[in-house]
Structure 1
Amino acid sequence: MSTHTQPGQQNRIDELRSTLTSDFDRHTARLTELTADTGDPAEAYTRDALVAETRHSLEQITGALRRIAEGRYGICERCAAPIPQERLEVLPHARFCVSCQQKQH
């Protein structure tokens, strides 16, 4: 899904952008709730973990939206090969193809 989209791909990209934007809004609201100080020190550890997880999700969503805007969505950042549609359906924020992702670890 690069800048040269085929018919039907643009609809998929538009739907994905809408879904990612909704996810971004939902995670932002969650982060706002999580960072509100409840004054309960027993909840601090759990809350900190949830805040870190939510921030990570926001970073992934933001990155995917940026790649869409730049016309780089669906292209592996390491080898520049197309990321399979099946992978993007499961992980819409995927930055790497499966082969390159395995090399990252």
Structure 2
Amino acid sequence: MTSTVQNPIELLRDNLEEQFQRNTDQLAELTLRSRQPGRSGYDRDALAALIASARQTVSDTAQALRRMAEGSYGTCERCTADIPLQRLEILPHARFCMPCQRAQTG
């Protein structure tokens, strides 16, 4: 009997790959709009902020996929503890466990 249940990490990989494609498409669209006369109705500052956010999301997602390929995905970059699956499900590109994230931003 073949199981249709996927490994949680495989599901996260699929999610990250879809997110990467979606955000890459969004970045391309926003970049195109920024080059059009009148920026397709977008305010210059708002468009710049959207582009910066899309670039960061593409970068974060690409880094998470790279960590998966290297085998370090799900390991805190600061303390090397496992990042709980629940955190990765909420924030698939998480690089730090919660205590280290708090220390990073606190």
CA RMSD of aligned residues (A): 1.4
User: Residues of 2 paired with 1:25 and 1:39: CA distance?
Assistant: 27
Cα displacement string for residues 31-55 of structure 1 (whole angstroms, at most 9, x for unaligned residues): 1110111211662111100000000
Residue identity matched to 1:40? G
State the SS of the aligned residue for 1:58: helix
Question: Is 1:25 equivalent to 2:21 in the alignment?
Answer: yes
Normalising by structure 1, we get a TM-score of: 0.85
Partner of 2:36: 38
Give the ranges of 4+ consecutive aligned residues of structure 1 lying more than 6 Å apart after TM superposition. Answer: none
5+ long unaligned stretches in structure 2:
1-5
- Partners of 2:71 and 2:60 lie apart in 1 by 16
Equivalent residue number for residue 4 of structure 1: none
Q: Output the amino acid matched with 1:35.
A: T
How many residue pairs get matched? 96
- Choose between structure 1 and 2 for higher RCO, CA contacts under 8 A separated by at least 6 residues: 1
The percent identity for this pair of structures is: 48
More divergent stretch after superposition (66-75 vs 36-45): 36-45
Larger displacement relative to structure 2 (10-19 or 91-100): 10-19
- TM-score, normalised by the number of residues in structure 2: 0.84
2:7 is paired with a residue whose SS is helix
